[in-house]
Amino acid sequence: MTEIPTLEQLHALGAAQQPTYDDPAAVAAAVTRLRTMPPLVFAGECDELKAKVAAASRGEAFILQGGDCAETFVDATADNVRNKLRVLLQMAVVLTYAASVPVVKVGRLAGQYAKPRSSDKETRDGVTLPAYRGDAVNGFEFTPESRRPDPQRLLDVYHASASTLNLVRAFTTGGYADLRQVHTWNSEFVRNSPVGQHYEAMAAEIDRALTFMQAIGANPDEFHRVDFYSSHEALLLEYEHAMTRTDSRTELPYNVSAHMVWIGERTRQLDGAHVEYFRHIRNPIGCKLGPTATADEALDLAAKLNPTNEPGRLTFITRFGAGKIREGLPHLVEKVTAEGVDVAWVCDAMHGNTFETSNGYKTRRFEDVLDEVQGFFDVHRALGTTPAGILVENTGDDVTEIIGGGEELDELGLAHRYESVVDPRLNRVQSLEMAFLVAEMLRR
């Protein structure tokens, strides 16, 4: 493995989706400071996750990756993090029962602050300003001051990520994630919500399984704590490069700002800076593949990102859209599989299904999200390959950002509580509903 390239070398490759800072000295100062900060995760934990992703690629585990499209600093509160974690744990219990394998829990959190945008500028009422690129870059508020890219925010990302991850670690090891507790929340959902009632049968089955375990005196450690991993799109070269460290055990470089990092659909150019950076780090990594991705591109990416074909190293996160997955995915999976390439296939059921409503909201249909997951399972079952997991954008709060679902949210209802600063998220009830529906697909 060659030395990790310098930031300058990476930028020389023409990195896509980077902010235009107007104060290079301030950027350099932020990077210098970040390089001195303690790691947020340990390389050993990243290796542990890699082994679990490898298990998922063999069908011996199932990945649930979820959280915000874009975290914000103001929302990095205890309540928010707790709600997000709680709903992911609730989903995971349902999926574990249905899949009969461990669910690998990966949050889009503690670092998901930088966003790629389709346009560099945004115009409102004749005023044009830089597009919002996530709290890591600039503010959401539509004023020149707020939209100016501020390198100090890179340090804010570090601190917000550290406090979020600290809370997640405390919650997941300190009793909050107790299996019986999580199941009790699910039972409450089934009992108290009109939507939940449909899933009474499965909840009762889980209940019986837990009661049986208790009756025989089984009380393993796993009942009381869970492993939970962090992930984000590693988009901003300054931040990701500064958070890359040599692991003292192995002398190999890891991105220590998250357990898993992924390459977005807009930055996966084979000769681009992101692929070059990702090639050198040893974390488990993801790469998004949209409907325009060809099988040859996927093979070239795999050859470059995982030349030794290490299991668990590379996850292809497909995001075709419900209307395209059944036609587009088979060829990709078939060819990659035929070449003996070891990857985990995860279904991002969100990003191919986004559209704008007539009243100006970016949304998705719950039914499309589910249909894409169903298509994903159908394709893999037909080919005899392994669906390794799903990726969702969701929150533990009762927001109104995605239409449909058991509560039948419609376009007008979106205005009620639309809080996402980028993409629409499944709310708490939609997330749980999705878990039960995907559970039914897994059991078929």
Q: Does 291 bind ligand PEP (CB under 6 A)?
A: no
By beta-carbon proximity to ligand PEP, the closer residue of 401 and 423 is 423
Residues contributing to the annotated binding site for Mn(2+): 69, 351, 393, 423
To the nearest whole angstrom, how small is the minimum distance from the Cβ of residue 423 to Mn ion?
3
Neighbour-count burial of 243, counting CB atoms closer than 10 A to its CB (0-12 exposed, 13-18 middle, 19+ buried): buried
Contact 224, 175 (CB under 8 A): yes
Are 34 and 158 a contacting pair, CB within 8 Å? yes
CB of 364 to Mn ion, least distance (A): 10
Q: Name the residue type at position 393.
A: E
Q: Which of residues 346-375 bind ligand PEP (CB under 6 A)?
A: 351
The binding site for Mn ion (CB under 5 A) comprises 69, 423
Distance CA 308, CA 310 (A): 5
Q: How far is the CB of 255 from ligand PEP (least distance, A)?
A: 17
Residue nearer to Mn ion on the CB measure, 69 or 432? 69
Residue with structure tokens 């405390």? 170
The count of chain residues that interact with ligand PEP, using the rule CB under 6 A, is 10
Known binding residues for phosphoenolpyruvate are 108, 265-266, 288, 319
Q: Which one of the spans 261-269, 272-280, 291-299, 321-329 is the region binding ligand PEP (CB under 6 A)?
A: 261-269
265 binds, among ligand PEP, Mn ion, none (CB under 5 to 8 A by kind): ligand PEP
Site for ligand PEP in 79-98 (CB under 6 A): none
Shortest spacing between CB 9 and Mn ion, in angstroms: 29
**Is 323 a residue that touches ligand PEP (CB under 6 A)?**
no
| 111 binding ligand PEP? (CB under 6 A) | no
Closer CB to ligand PEP, residue 233 or residue 238? 233
Can you give the chain as a three-state secondary structure string? CCCCCCHHHHHHCCCCCCCCCCCHHHHHHHHHHHHHCCCCCCHHHHHHHHHHHHHHHCCCCEEEEEECCCCCCCCCCHHHHHHHHHHHHHHHHHHHHHHCCCEEEEEEECCCCCCCCCCCEEEECCEEEECCCCCCCCCCCCCHHHHCCCCHHHHHHHHHHHHHHHHHHHHHHCCCCCHHHHHHHHHHHHHHCCCHHHHHHHHHHHHHHHHHHHHCCCCCHHHCCCCEEEEEECCCHHHHHHCEEECCCCCCEEECCCCEEEECCCCCCCCCHHHHHHHHCCCCEEEEECCCCCHHHHHHHHHHHCCCCCCCCEEEEECCCCCCHHHHHHHHHHHHHHCCCCCEEEEECCCCCCEECCCCCEECEHHHHHHHHHHHHHHHHHHCCCEEEEEEEECCCCCCCCEECCCCECCHHHHHCCCCCCCCCECHHHHHHHHHHHHHHHHC
The item of ligand PEP, Mn ion, none sharing an interface with residue 319, based on CB under 5 to 8 Å by kind, is ligand PEP
Using the rule CB under 6 A, which residue among 288, 313, 364, 380 binds ligand PEP? 288
Does the protein bind ligand PEP through residue 69 (CB under 6 A)? yes
The token duo for 287 is: 């790469």
In the annotated binding site, the residues are 69, 108, 265-266, 288, 319, 351, 393, 423
Query: Is residue 425 near ligand PEP by the rule CB under 6 A?
Result: no
Part in contact with ligand PEP (CB under 6 A); list of ranges 28-36, 207-215, 259-267, 377-385: 259-267
Q: Which one of the spans 87-95, 144-152, 263-271, 359-367 is the region binding ligand PEP (CB under 6 A)?
A: 263-271
Should residue 274 be labelled a site residue for ligand PEP when binding is judged by CB under 6 A?
no
The entry of Mn ion, ligand PEP, none near residue 288 (CB within 5 to 8 angstroms by kind) is ligand PEP
122 vs 440, which CB is nearer to ligand PEP? 122
Toward Mn ion, which CB reaches closer, 64 or 177?
64
- Contact flag: residue 264 with ligand PEP (CB under 6 A): yes
- Nearest-approach distance from CB 290 to ligand PEP, in angstroms: 6
What is the nearest approach in angstroms of ligand PEP to the Cβ of residue 264? 3
**Residues at the contact surface with ligand PEP, assessed by CB under 6 A:** 69, 116, 233, 264-266, 288, 319, 351, 423
